Amino acid sequence: MKRLWIAAALFSAMALSGSAQSLSDLNIELHGYATQGFLYTTENNIFSTNSSSGSPAWDEAVLNMTATPTPKLRVGMQARYFLLGNYGNKISLDWAAADYSFNDHVGVRFGKVKTPIGLLNEIQDLDPTYIWSLLPQSVYPLTSRNSTLTHYGGVVYGSFSLGQKKGDLDYRVFGGEQMVTADDPSITEGEEDSGIILPNGWGGTMLGATLKWKTPLQGLMFGATDVDFPAVWSSLAVYQGSNGTQSTPPSQSQWYFARYEKNKIMVAGEYSRQQYQGATQFPDAPDGDSTFRSDPRGWYAMASYKFTPKFALGAYVSQFVDWQLDYGPPRYSKDWTFSARYDFNQFLYAKAEQHFIEGTNIGYDDATNPNGLQPNTKLTILKIGVSF
Amino acid sequence: MKYRSRILILVAALLLFGSVARAQVIVIVNPGVSADSVSKAALEKIFTGTSTRLGSGERVVPVLLKEGPVHSAFLSTYLGKSPIALIINWRSLVLSGQGSMPKSFDSEAEMVSYVARTPTAIGYIGEKTAHDSVKVLEVK
């Protein structure tokens, strides 16, 4: 099914670009970026790295190819290499899609596409596009971002003017299949906790919509996203060598966000809630039977200021709580962050960031923290990147 | 007192430079475009990739200069962005699959030549650059 979406996108692009006579007519472009990060934590090891000793195990490289065979048609694909501690260390397909824009009011994009959730989901894995070394983990957790970044399906998008004194309304309606592979950190972290393996990964049908109201006050925008998971998600599960199933019933998630951005100033905030529950069943290993409920709620408030075209400072406060867990550090994560970014030129940049983290819900795994977790950790990040 | 005077002179010079810069940059389109003007808001949307239409409904595709004082003046006057910020804006669209990078030119003469032969192109040049082959849009 996944390959069918990508094949449909590429076939449609070929059919609609029939007038192109040569490669130059296709207006092919290459873009990309690469980053090298360094993490140091005062207590716990974070993101499966040995950060308490200082770790350079955070690399990303992206290569993008885009063609515009006709003014309204765009086809592209993007590959990524990702390494974070013990995660990744492989090349994967970020997205591959065909995009046809009828006009400013209606366009359609399909294939493996970025999922337009919340304020930052579509760019959360694009380090060159924002000041932060690490986005607020309360809403954009790094090790589980693959579970929301893309889906196989489509997006219908567009914008309408509400009148000169009422601003503009942008909309995105999307649907398809969301999938993460068995080796994704969002899966392996759960396996550590429960001992249950999902050899085929995890995913299922999703439908959603995002609305953004760009107010008459230039730079001020309010938005909301609702995502429905209308069908039962079910996957093969393995517990102590016995096969079974993990399933989750229909559920919903919401994001609410706002941003003011003008000239040198940016202020933004976001709140998300992603409730779900599920069960695992093992006919031959009843010890593995379990039910689980999760009610994670996260929010952040951020601000940044560009002192010069090349230098910016920013800060954010971020909080995450899983209301289904017992009280204590594993239930929450709070983070005060201070960031700096310097652009040497349009290609080369550097970032520095300091986090003051309370709670242990996000970012920690058992393998690199065999002696348990301290409730608080300070995290320092240095990063250098090139983009073109 | 001397220091304060220097500050005042500097502020006055910056204000004067800003107004001079705005007067020196003009927006150009292919002669086939029927519109005679464009709003500042529409111009900002077109050159940041959030719209492809003039107020008349005509479709346009932005083109950019790679660098230079005219490029910087256009960005600061009509988009409120630095050259680096504009590139970051477009890269966020390209790398997320939502857009393609506008064509960019080393010189204003190259931009004029491209806009003159490309029906949907919209660009910008210094007002003293030869532009008989293109149409000038008034920015309102």
pLDDT tens figures, B15-51 = 555 444 455 899 999 999 999 999 999 999 999 999 9
ipTM of the shown complex: 0.90
Measure A65 CA to nearest chain B CA, in Å. 9
Q: How many CB pairs under 8 A join A and B?
A: 78
Assess A97–B contact: CB distance below 8 Å, yes or no: yes
- What is the residue-averaged pLDDT of chain A? 91
Mean pLDDT of A311-340: 94
pLDDT band for position A163 (cuts 50, 70, 90): confident
Is A310–B52 a contact, with Cβ atoms under 8 angstroms apart? no
User: Where residue A2 falls among pLDDT bands split at 50, 70, 90?
Assistant: low
- Say if the Cβ atoms of A345 and B84 lie within 8 Å: yes
Residue A338 contacts residue A353 (beta carbons within 8 Å): yes
pLDDT given at position B115: 97
pLDDT band at A146 (very low <50, low <70, confident <90, very high): confident
B100:A309 CB<8 A: no
Q: What is the pLDDT of residue B127?
A: 93
- In chain A, which residue's Cα lies nearest the Cα of B82? A309
Rounded CA-CA distance A27/A48 in Å is 41
CB contact under 8 A, B97 and A114: yes
* Best to test chain A binding among B98, B103, B114, B120 (most A CBs inside 10 Å): B98
Question: CB of A322 within 8 Å of any CB in chain B?
Answer: no
User: CB distance from A343 to chain B under 8 Å?
Assistant: yes
Is A144 a residue whose pLDDT tops 70?
Answer: yes
Where exactly are the structural domains of chain B? 2-139
Domains of chain A: 36-58+104-239+251-275+296-387 (2.40.160.10)
Is the confidence at residue B67, as pLDDT, over 60?
yes
pLDDT over threshold 90, residue A365: no
With pLDDT > 70 as the criterion, what percentage of chain A qualifies? 94
How far apart are alpha carbons A156 and A158 in whole angstroms? Answer: 7
- Whose tokens are 């390494």? That residue is A83
Pick A90 or A378 by higher pLDDT.
Answer: A378
CB A387 to CB B91 under 8 A? yes
- Structure token digits, residue A129: 């596009």
What number does CATH give the domain B2-139? 3.40.190.10
One-letter-per-residue 3-state SS of chain A? CHHHHHHHHHHHHHHHCCCCCCHHHHCCEEEEEEEEEEEEECCCCCCCCCHHHCEEEEEEEEEEEEEEEECCEEEEEEEEEEEECCEEEEEEEEEEEEEEECCCCCEEEEEEEECCCCCCHHHCCCHHHCCCCCCCCCCCCHHHCHHHHEEEEEEEEEEEECCCCCCEEEEEEEEEEEEECCCCHHHHHHHHHHCEECCCCEEEEEEEEEEEEECCCCCEEEEEEEEEECCCEEEEEEECCEEEEEEECCEEEEEEEEEEEECCEEEEEEEEEECEEEEEECCCCHHHCEEEEECEEEEEEEEEEEEECCEEEEEEEEEEEECCCCCCHHHEEEEEEEEEEEECCCCEEEEEEEEEEECCCCCCCCCCCCCCCCCEEEEEEEEEEEEC
List the single residue in A with minimal CA-CA distance to B121. Answer: A71
Confidence of residue B12 (pLDDT cuts 50, 70, 90): low
pLDDT of residue B130: 93
The residue among A155, A153, A193, A190 whose CA lies nearest residue A174 is A155
Q: Is A64 on the interface with B (CB under 8 A)?
A: yes
- The residue among A6, A65, A66 with the most chain B CBs within 10 A of its CB, best to mutate, is A66
Residue in chain B closest to A96 (alpha carbons) equals: B97
pLDDT, one tens digit per residue, over A168-186 is: 999 999 999 998 888 888 7
pLDDT, position A160: 93
Q: Is the pLDDT of residue A24 over 70?
A: no
CA distance A62 to chain B (A): 9
Q: Is A258 on the interface with B (CB under 8 A)?
A: no
Q: pLDDT value at position B97? A: 95
- Residues of B in Cβ contact (< 8 Å) with A387: 91
Average confidence (pLDDT) over A333-347 = 97
Model confidence at B7, in pLDDT bands (50, 70, 90)?
A: low
Q: Which residues of A touch B51 (CB under 8 A)?
A: 104, 159
Contact B53 A104 (CB under 8 A): yes
Q: Is B27 helix (H, G, I), strand (E, B) or coil?
A: strand
